[in-house]
Amino acid sequence: MGTARWDPSDWSAYAASTTGKATDAVFKARAIDPELDPLGVTLRESRDSDLNPQSTAIVVGLDVTGSMGMIADTLARKGLGTLVEEILARRPVSDPHILCMGIGDVLYDRAPLQVTQFEADIRIARQLEKLWLEKGGGGNACESYNLPWYFAALHTAIDCFEKRGKKGYLFTVGDEEPPLDLPAAGIARVFGDRVQRDFSSRELLTLVSRMYHVFHVIVEEGSHARHNARRVRNLWTELLGQRVISLSDHTQLAEVIVSAIAVNEGNDRDRVIGSWSKKTALVVRRAVGGLEPVRERRTGLIRF
pTM to 2 decimals? 0.96
Whether 149 maps to a domain, the answer reads yes
Strands 199-200 and 181-182, bridge-based pairing: antiparallel
Whether 103 maps to a domain, the answer reads yes
Ramachandran region of residue 48, left (φ > 0), alpha (ψ -120 to 50) or beta?
Answer: beta
Give 124: exposed, middle or buried? Use CB within 10 Å, 0-12, 13-18, 19+: buried
Whether 129 maps to a domain, the answer reads yes
Q: What is the pLDDT of residue 2?
A: 78
- Side chain identity at residue 160, one-letter code: C
Using pLDDT thresholds of 50, 70 and 90, give the confidence band for residue 300: very low
Could you give the C-alpha distances from 218 to 134, 138, 237, in angstroms and in order? Answer: 20, 18, 11
Whether 298 maps to a domain, the answer reads no
Q: Looking at residue 124, which CATH number applies to its domain?
A: 3.40.50.410
Its domain, for residue 143, covers: 8-250
Average pLDDT, the chain: 95
Tell me the pLDDT tens digit for each residue of 95-152.
999 999 999 999 999 999 999 999 999 999 999 999 999 999 988 889 999 999 999 9
Whether 78 maps to a domain, the answer reads yes
CA angle (272, 161, 204) in 5-degree steps: 90
Measure the CA–CA gap between 57 and 290, rounded to whole angstroms. 24
Whether 43 maps to a domain, the answer reads yes
Whether 88 maps to a domain, the answer reads yes
Distance from the first to the final alpha carbon of the chain: 27
**Structural domain count, the chain:** 1
Closest among 239, 220, 240 to 176, alpha carbons compared: 220
Tell me the pLDDT tens digit for each residue of 261-283.
999 999 999 999 999 999 999 99
Alpha helices in 192-297 (DSSP H): 201-208, 223-227, 229-240, 253-264, 269-274, 278-288
Predicted confidence (pLDDT) at residue 19 exceeds the cutoff of 90: yes
Measure the CA–CA gap between 236 and 220, rounded to whole angstroms. 13
Three-class secondary structure of residue 181 per DSSP: strand
